[in-house]
Amino acid sequence: MQLQVTPLGTSAGRPTLVRGASALAISTATGWMMCDCGEGAQTAAQRAGLSLARLDAVLITHLHGDHFNGLPGLLGSLGLDGRERTLTVAGPPGIHEALQTLARVGALGIGPLDLKLLELSGDGGELPGLGVESGLQVSCAPLSHRIATYGYRVSLPDRAGTLDVQKALAAGVPSGPLLGHLKSGRSIRLADGRELSAQDFLGPTQKGMAVAYTLDTVPCEGAKRLGREADLLVHEATYEHARQELARLRGHTTALEAGEIARDAQAKRLLLTHFSPSVRGEELAEEASRVFAGTIAARDGEPVVLESVRGSPAPT
């Protein structure tokens, strides 16, 4: 299995000539989800070869314009495309009112689109049923910014362990459908009346690959929780650490602090994004690498591919 993470916009506050406003795609071979939808996200997605028809959900972190302003345009385009399939939009308190207001004044038309809005509250948790085409699972948790903000964890489902066929045959399981039952995790009854539990013949469950998306925020527990042992933690790094005071004042994280969060969460890799136009992403990645070696600076349109080969040690 493969997960592809494509930054669609990596700038903080406003788009620049080389970085769009915040947006990122997480895709499987069959579908995808968008995290944040800053201005220009829909065209960036199409440039990256992503089909809007296969978009399952848009996960909005907060309602600041650089994360939200592309959403009305995207919904409008899906409406013009005549899309009827459900699109889920998850977002913080106020998202329903924001879209309703735009629709009321005539700024948002969604045609036949079946829009399902999930307005998040409290401590977040699982958001079941979103990955209709992609098969992706989603959970969320609050972050700590200047307004209500939620981060997300997007993952593939866990897979049952490998069946030890020789052991099953030796226990008297005949070749055929009963082996298939064991493989899918179901217990079976043999002709001689013995009941066999699948757990006795399966290897350990294989965790589905996971990507955490945590912006905008000051360093917080929610980001660490979402990023726990994630294959990729996508964290904001608006400024370098020398401007920590400014970062805190504006509700942001420095590159060094993002590295510390990835290290503490034992994430496998860290993708920095949400760069102030006043910084160079590569320099911020270097700064974070002092505490977390597996750090990359996001660049618009340059995907990070995650393969489900597990067992490699987490970078420190």
Q: How far is the CB of 47 from Zn ion (least distance, A)?
A: 22
66 binds Zn ion (CB under 5 A): yes
Residues 33-68 as b or e (16 or more Cβ within 10 Å = b): bbbbbbbbbbebbeebebebeebbbbbbbbbbebbb
- Which residue blocks in the chain are alpha helix, DSSP H? 41-47, 65-68, 71-80, 95-104, 165-170, 177-183, 221-226, 244-249, 255-265, 281-289
Nearer to Zn ion, 100 or 278 (CB): 278
287 binds Zn ion (CB under 5 A): no
Q: Interface mask (CB under 5 A) for Zn ion, residues 170-209, using x and -? A: ----------------------------------------
Number of residues that bind Zn ion (CB under 5 A): 2
Is residue 66 annotated as part of the catalytic site, yes or no?
yes
Q: How far is the CB of 275 from Zn ion (least distance, A)?
A: 10
Nearer to Zn ion, 134 or 214 (CB): 214
Nearer to Zn ion, 95 or 209 (CB): 95
Q: Interface mask (CB under 5 A) for Zn ion, residues 127-156, using x and -? A: ------------------------------
Nearer to Zn ion, 235 or 263 (CB): 235
Nearer to Zn ion, 216 or 260 (CB): 216
Q: How far apart are CA 104 and CA 108, in angstroms?
A: 8
Which range, of 62-70, 149-157, 173-181, 226-234, touches Zn ion by CB under 5 A? 62-70
CA distances (Å), 182 to each of 1, 86, 160, 165, in order?
A: 22, 35, 10, 10
Q: How far is the CB of 233 from Zn ion (least distance, A)?
A: 17
Q: Interface mask (CB under 5 A) for Zn ion, residues 206-225, using x and -? A: ----------x---------
Q: Interface mask (CB under 5 A) for Zn ion, residues 80-99, using x and -? A: --------------------
Query: Do residues 32 and 11 lie in contact, with contact meaning Cβ atoms separated by under 8 Å?
Result: no
Measured CA angle at 208 (ends 54, 312), to 5 deg: 125
Which of 66, 216, 231, 300 is an active site residue? 66
Q: How far is the CB of 253 from Zn ion (least distance, A)?
A: 11
Residues 236-262 as b or e (16 or more Cβ within 10 Å = b): bbbbbbebeeebeebbbbbbbbbbbbb
- Give every strand in the sheet of 32-37, ordered side by side: 115-119, 87-91, 55-59, 32-37, 23-27, 2-9, 304-307
Strand 270-273 to strand 232-236: parallel, antiparallel, or no bridges (unpaired)?
parallel
36 binds Zn ion (CB under 5 A): no
The DSSP 8-state label assigned to residue 132 in this structure reads T
Nearer to Zn ion, 134 or 273 (CB): 273
Helix axes 95-104 and 71-80, enclosed angle (nearest 10): 60
Q: How far is the CB of 22 from Zn ion (least distance, A)?
A: 6
Q: Which residues bind Zn ion (CB under 5 A)?
A: 66, 216
Q: Which residues are catalytic?
A: 66
